[in-house]
Amino acid sequence: MSFAEKLNNSRFLIPVLSLIALVIGSMYLGLATATEAAAFGVLGSLGLAAGQGSLNRSTFFESLMGAVRTSAMIALILSGAAFLSLSMGFTGLPRGLADFIASLELSRFQLLMALLVFYIVLGCFLDGISSVVLTMAVVEPMIRQAGIDIIWFGIFIVVVVEMAQITPPIGFNLFVLQGMTRHEMNFIARAALPMFAIMVVMVFVLIAFPELATWLPDNMRQRPGG
């Protein structure tokens, strides 16, 4: 396919990109919460399907059942993760590891590297929220003592925890993708490696240029009364 043909076919991406801009833009502009933005996405998808003539009773029912199956699968995975989180909480292992890192008296960069490895390993066995809840009581005083900005660290920890969700053997997002694609876990894990590498690079960029973490909200148009 020539470049001209690719450019000509790219026009079909405009409605999809517009839908993405609608969903993300509504949140960043403060017009909708995350849940309301998701509803905008559903309505926009239905509108695109209707405009393209592919929306009918059969496709709507198939889409609805696909969403139900995916949601049920995610709910079962979360149930298992909740049980594992409770078990890990009773053992005290996450807090013990965090206490061990605190006892090492590391420099700022060494502390961030230790926490990076710590949360990646923890993400192999726990979901993101549980990883943060079980360890933040110990980690938060460490980062304050190291002089790390709390808002910056919040963004850092979100990136690291999401990175941990695509690490085998129990990466939450890997199981979701496996259920949706029916591929084996080894294939899913290998396919996720480039995304994992990109997120690792992103973490080091955040460390090297910490102002990037809050650049967008700092430069967004101020709302009236904000």
Residue 31 placed within a domain: yes
Same structural domain, 129 and 174: yes
CA proximity to 163, closest of 105, 206, 203: 203
Residue 67 placed within a domain: no
Residue 22 placed within a domain: yes
Choosing from 55, 84, 100, the residue where a domain stops is 55
- Boundaries of domain holding 35: 1-55
Q: Residues in the chain, how many?
A: 226
DSSP state of 170: S
State how many domains the chain has: 2
**Contact call for residues 135 and 157 (beta carbons, < 8 A):** no
Residue 61 placed within a domain: no
Same structural domain, 2 and 87: no
Same structural domain, 159 and 204: yes
Side-chain half-sphere exposure of 84, counting CA atoms within 13 A: 19
Check: pTM over 0.85? Answer yes or no: no
Question: How confident is the model at residue 84, as a pLDDT?
Answer: 66
Question: Stretch 87-110: mean pLDDT, rounded?
Answer: 75
Examine the pLDDT at 138 and tell me if it is beyond 80: no
